[in-house]
Structure 1
Amino acid sequence: MVEVLGKIILKKQLAGEWKGLKIHDDLDACTPSQFSNDTMVFGEASIEEAKCIIRMLDTYLECSSQVMNKEKSQLFFFNPSKQNQLRIAKLMGIKITKLPMKYLGIKIDKGRRQTNIWKDVNIACEAKSASWKNQWLSQAGKITMVQSVLSAISIYNMSCFRMPSSIRRNLDSLLRKFIWEGAKDVKRIPLISWDTMCLEKEEGGARLRKMDLQNMALGAKLTWKMYREPRKLWFKIFKKKSIITDHLSWHIGNEQSAKFWHDSWEGQPALSDLILDKAWIQSVEEQIGSFVSDYFDCNPSNGVTCCWK
């Protein structure tokens, strides 16, 4: 039913009654999004916009025969005055909620306070390890516990956020102590280094996972998904903010996708970042072209890996 609400909002937008929330000047206003059983509507923090949202929701609820539970609904504001927030909340009859908050099991916060997001993961790992700490598990049992339970607690967060180095060191230390310490908190010196424990069994390890490498792999998977869905709004937002593109480099295949001057390719920085005369780059692009394939032939018949055209 969120498609119906989207059409109602689009109609209001075309009529100039609804401004919505624009993340970037080159992007369209955010449309309503639905996750699980929740619907998120974005708008400008003004009385006029709040009245427009109320009218849209009333129309939608009347058409769908649904009822909005205002007790479970929440308002989030970013940067408007306190007085304006209270006026809008009173008009809509919905309580104001502030960040941080938990949504779908993930703590959401604003700014760069990454450590706050991981506190719950750290507490959960400590509680889970403490509940098994005094049990007489064998060495193999402890390793299995780490592989199947303790390491899995942080996977959900790692698939969404970058793990701070302080949290990673703390979790690695927690897992290492769990494996080597005996019953009743008997402390023992680790006989094998953690790097060796993370190797494959054929190489003498226990096939445990390093948190930093796992976090990197899950982040790469998310980035790949973004590039597979280029029309999604969330990808466009990240791309405009250069959160993704600043950390990617093209591997040249058919040379028809990577831009010669403005993209990083084969692990090298973009040429446009090294040349100050941007007008000269523009003139060359107008004469020759923009893509690597306009300058290089990476499949020449003479057997050379790559050569100038």
Structure 2
Amino acid sequence: MNFIKELKLEDGRVLSNSEEIGEVFANHFHEFFKRGSTQRNDELLAVLPRLVSDRDNEMLVHVPSAEEIKAAVFDLGPSSAPGPDGFPGAFYMYCWEIVRPDVCCGVQNYFREGVVTKELKGVKSLKKFLEDYGQASGQNINLSKSKVFMGRISAARKERLLSVLQILACYFSTKYVGVELLKGRVTKANVLPLLDHFKKKLSSWKGRLLSQAGWVELVRSVIGSIPIYNFSVYYWPATTIVSMERWMSNFIWTGESEKTRAITVKWDTMCKPKNEGGLGIRRLREVNFALLAKFAWAIRSGSSNLAIFIRCRLVNKDGTLKSHVNPSTILTGLKKFWSFVQNEERWVVGSGESIRFWYDRWIGNQSIEELLQPGRIPINLSAKISDFLEDNKWELPQVESRALQSVFNKI
């Protein structure tokens, strides 16, 4: 059996995880074969010979009958390569009487409206659910302020779906609850709008009748909180952090973001706690670090739909982060803190239903796997702590290994 063990990328990185290698190949061929943008040119079309008559065209676009659909299906090779649904031609031939209504209805609706029936029904069901929810709860959803993201589908199909939903299509980049949603790596250009807002906020206070203590409080409590939402998901470029802290320091000493003063206290000293002689201002990079570490912990241990989705998208089965996901804006920040959170996390045993008995760190600051010699525990054990508890008492198995029995004695 042939397989690819490792793959070297253009940037020099070497991938050995099969899931990551597969994703790189999928992305490569998608970009290679994707259709470019087109624009209608009537002058060019006018000089092309007309080979399809009006009668032929009517025949090509008419809605096929059930008999025509059956004939096309039975012309498929029985062992032909499966389509997106995973079923070869033999499946449809053998189960035709069962699948016939759905197949015929879906094909005919595609000729009429450009989408299959199941998809259109799903969109209509979603629209009805939103309406029913608003009537039952009194919390009506403002569709004019809502947005929907579409995948790589045709313009005609997208237009029909949007006409049912009555919601505007949204494209990157856009903003949600104050956070700029982007594709790819976060650059200085991406955060310029927030930097401009940050600077305008400082400029709007220029010349106001505030003491220097008032300027300090504005910087500490108001200005320092402006980038919080963005800091929670993105790792900010160092140049933007330096610029923002320079403006904050200038404002404290002069009341203006661009005006400097020759003799000042060092910024590091100003950022110390008040009981250590500082002003209690938080360093922006440290805030960014803390919030991203919190985000990494939420993804590692959370049970929300968002946490589950991101784990499926960015995390390998062994708990490590994927090294290549394109495009991912949040992956850069998670990479910087994933190992840190993993090494520092500890479990407090309760029911034990969510703690892996062999691999999680619940014995002090170590796991059973770490207490034993490397390689002594297989990598595919699935037991939880709750599997060894009976009426809140330990029910540990008898083992022949002295090292493992020593670990059990500690428990």
TM-score (norm 2): 0.48
Residue of structure 2 equivalent to 1:238:
310
Q: 1:52 aligns with which of 101, 115, 122?
A: 122
Q: Secondary structure at the match of 1:282?
A: coil
- Taking a change above 3 Å as real, the CA distance of residues 236 and 62 of structure 1, as seen in their structure-2 partners, is closer
Query: Which residue does the alignment assign to 1:142?
Result: 215
How far apart in 1 are the matches of 2:248 and 2:238?
Answer: 15
The Cα shift of 1:188 comes to 1.3
Aligned length: 249
SS at match of 1:99: coil
Alpha carbons 1:75, 1:97 under 8 Å: kept: yes
Cα pair 1:180 1:190 within 8 Å, conserved = no
Q: In terms of mean alpha carbon deviation, does 157-166 or 81-90 score higher?
A: 81-90
Report if aligned partners of 2:232, 2:295 keep a CA contact under 8 Å in 1.
yes
The match for 1:248 is: 342
- Report the equivalent of 1:217: 290
- Specify the SS of the correspondent of 1:78: coil
Please show how residues 180-219 of structure 1 align to structure 2 within 5 Å.
180-181=253-254, 186-219=259-292
Q: Is the 8 A contact 2:299 2:310 kept in 1?
A: no
Give the structure with the larger helix fraction.
2
Kept in 2: contact 1:108–1:117 (CA 8 A):
no
Please give the alpha-carbon distance, in whole angstroms, between the structure 1 residues aligned to 2:378 and 2:408.
27
Comparing 51-60 with 120-129, greater Cα deviation is found at 51-60
Q: What secondary structure, in the 3-state scheme, does the structure 1 residue paired with 2:225 have?
A: coil
Listed as ranges, the matches of 1:159-174 within 5 Å are 159-174=232-247
Partner SS for 2:175 = strand
Rounded Cα–Cα distance in structure 2 between residues aligned with 1:187 and 1:219: 32
Q: Which has the larger Rg?
A: 2
Unaligned residue ranges in structure 2 (runs of 5+): 1-84, 86-113, 316-320, 322-333, 386-395, 397-402
1:107 is paired with a residue of what secondary structure?
Answer: strand
1:260 deviates by 5.5
Q: Structure 1-normalised TM-score?
A: 0.61
Aligned to 2:184: 111
| Aligned equivalent of 1:75 | 148
Runs of 5+ unmatched residues, structure 1: 1-18, 20-44, 301-306
Q: Secondary structure at the match of 2:152?
A: coil
CA deviation string 1:195-254 (max 9, x = no partner): 1111122322211110111122223344455566x4322122233322565552244777
Kindly state the Cα deviation for residue 151 of structure 1 after the two structures are TM-superposed: 0.9
| Counterparts of 2:287 and 2:279, CA distance in 1 | 16
Alignment RMSD, CA only? 4.5
Letter aligned with residue 167 of structure 1: T
Q: Could you tell me how far apart the structure 1 residues matched to 2:379 and 2:218 are? A: 62
Matches within 5 A, 1:25-36: none
Task: Check conservation: 2:134, 2:141, Cα contact below 8 A.
Answer: no
Contact 1:197 1:206 in 2 (8 A): yes
